Amino acid sequence: MITGKHLLELRKYPNSLYFYLKVEFLFHSNKMEGSTFTEEQLGLLLDKRIVVGEHELEDVKETANSLELFELMVNTLEEPITDDLLLKFHNTLKKGTKDEEAGLSGTWKIYDNRILGVPVKLTPPTLVRERIKDLLYRWELSNKYLPDIAEFHVEFEQIHPFQDGNGRIGRFIMLKQCLENGIIPIVVDTEYVMEYRQELGNAQISGDRTGFIKVLEKCQLRFMQKEIVLNTLQSLKDRGLF
């Protein structure tokens, strides 16, 4: 399986799986939050640092920031997930945006927030620090298998600790957890977005994580079937790195 160690090795090589994963993950994750960048446009922003197409300024800023955040996520592999790291991730995502101007970058939420169209009660601002610390504590005590990653994500999204950007930060953390623990990377493909959202909400309301875990497994399988993934795994084996 692709681990953080493999990813650091692949980062040395242009156009490798490292850069494919970066664009693939960010395209789908950002699109879920309304980004209008196509995969090709995102690739050009990564490779040439140029913006192609018409996009809102906030979208351009957050998309560029997400490329930087991906690098930060990789650079902090094997570092424990702490409240400070979560705030650092969020600050990177929101750098130079309207949220930063409003004092909402790299800080816990100030006002109650909600997920539109989902009847899930989110954690009030006064309890965010306490709930995050408890979540991080239980994560460190867990086996760190896929069900534990799913549990963490469900609870993190229900805490919704930031005023905005919770979904993207949550999926970054989920990818970090996979890479650190020998779990197939979870890239929430556009094909499974509706199922992802529906089962995430169901898990938060009912407490049953079974359906949500199945969606994550579908995303893992789709990623593993990509030709570049299969070929890279074989190349890593041939080089004695797997």
Integer angstrom CA distances of residue 34 from 62, 165, 182: 11, 11, 31
Give every CB contact of residue 143 below 8 A, 6+ residues apart in sequence. none
Question: In whole angstroms, what is the distance from residue 66 CA to residue 101 CA?
Answer: 18
Q: Which residue has the tokens 């989920």?
A: 174
Structure tokens at 111: 């006002």
DSSP letters spanning 63-127 = HHHHHHHHHHHHHTTTSPP-HHHHHHHHHHHTTTSHHHHTT-TTS--SS----TT---PPPPGGG
Tell me whether residue 168 is annotated as binding. Answer: yes
Tell me whether residue 167 is annotated as binding. Answer: yes
Residues that are catalytic: 160
Tell me whether residue 166 is annotated as binding. Answer: yes
Question: In whole angstroms, what is the distance from residue 147 CA to residue 198 CA?
Answer: 17
Tell me whether residue 106 is annotated as binding. Answer: no
Question: In whole angstroms, what is the distance from residue 165 CA to residue 113 CA?
Answer: 12
The separation between CA 70 and the C-alpha centre of its own chain, rounded to angstroms, equals 9
Nearest to 168 by CA among 183, 180, 182, 153: 153
Helix H or strand E segment including 183: none
Tell me whether residue 138 is annotated as binding. Answer: no
Annotated binding-site residues for ATP read: 164-171
Annotated binding-site residues read: 164-171
